[in-house]
Structure 1
Amino acid sequence: MTAAQADLAGARSEFNRSSGSSGIDTPRVEDGAAIWRIARDSKVLDLNSSYSYLLWCRDFAATSVVARDDTGSPIAFVTGYVRPERPEALVVWQVAVDSSHRGKGLAGTLLDELTTRVSRELGITALETTVTPDNTASDRMFTAYAARHGATLEREVLFDGGLFPEGVHQPEVLYRIGPLSP
């Protein structure tokens, strides 16, 4: 077992509990503010409006997941949606872990749990996401995810940096991962 696999196994046992208020769960509207704060504090993600996180927890809860601490407070999340033009693809919008819980494999655990659920419930067979070239942590996480699932990973620039209105955004590289096995 590699160190990454051991971290992932440890995170699963620590956060995937069926008793108590901690564990992996579907986000609720009242989680929106905490999820917004985790995204803001990541200092890596493009921060959306706080309102958008409330909507996300209402409208895309079935394709998103949150990890909770022992008090039931969100400590990490993955937001996603089913791509309308490719209903077999889950688009992962954002992944973030509170700074005090990083380095434990929690993001990978959440991604595995979410894709297992949406594969079973919605027939998802592919995952798409975008990663900027400087986001090494996300690149490693999605590359490791593809390897764990024996899936192909393809990369191509989806949005060139010049398309963004602020003019200083890095390109968004599309990662296509699949086929996913159930």
Structure 2
Amino acid sequence: MTAARADLQEQFREMPAGLRMDRPEVADGAAIWRIARDSGTLDLNSSYSYLLWCRDFADTSVVARDGNGQPVGFITGYVRPAHPGTLVVWQVAVDSAHRGRGLAAALLDGLTARVAADLASAPVALNRVETTITPGNTASERLFTSFAARHDVPVDREVLFDSGAFPDGGHAPEILYRIGPFGT
């Protein structure tokens, strides 16, 4: 077990009762799209993109399922091609009926532990998590800063894309949260 994997597993948040963590499947794409739409905070991608995400990035994404196997939360992510030790978290959303129970934190811990385990035999171990957050999204700010605190790693912040970078106008800047390194 790598130091990064041990660190991530040591501080793992438990899933709330009655829910389980799983890899997403293509059949989950529609439910994930609805959860993203209903979140009220995420930039909604096309329904097609969620289907593709569930097909092509299932190993770096996670879904929470209720007792009936229905998705009630998700995280989409990918490993950066130019930085293979970095997991980029694209979107996090939890159905409104399941918020406030620590589900997003449990999913984030579980996903990073799984990706760390999957990369354990790779030339580069998981050493960072990156995400972007728009100013004022306090739920996401708390999720990622508490993740860093649980794993005792720093968080660096910088503007990744300012408002002027978006062609459709009216988009807030995206602040890059660079969390890690793990296991140093």
Q: Structure 1-normalised TM-score?
A: 0.89
Q: Does 1:32 align with 2:32?
A: no
Is 1:104 aligned to 2:101, yes or no? Answer: yes
Judge conservation of contact 1:149–1:181 (CA < 8 Å) in 2.
no
Q: CA deviation at 1:120?
A: 1.4
Equivalent residue number for residue 148 of structure 2 = 146
Whether contact under 8 Å (2:64, 2:72) holds in the other structure is yes
Q: What is the Cα-based RMSD across aligned positions, in Å?
A: 1.5
Percent identity between the two aligned chains: 64
Paired with 1:129 and 1:176, the residues of 2 have a C-alpha distance of: 7
SS in 2 for 1:175: strand
User: 1:18-46: CA deviations, max 9, x gaps?
Assistant: xxxx5100000000000000000001000
Change (3 A) 1:13 1:135: closer
Aligned partner of residue 68 in structure 2, secondary structure? coil
Q: Residue 157 of structure 1: CA displacement?
A: 0.1
Deviation at 1:13, TM superposition (A): 5.0
Higher relative contact order (CA 8 A, sep 6+): 2
- 1:12 is aligned to 15
Paired residue type of 2:109: D
Q: How many residues align?
A: 168
Question: TM-score, normalising length from structure 2?
Answer: 0.88
1:45 aligns with 2:42: yes
Runs of 4+ in structure 1 off by over 6 angstroms are none
CA contact (8 A) 2:16 2:102 kept: no
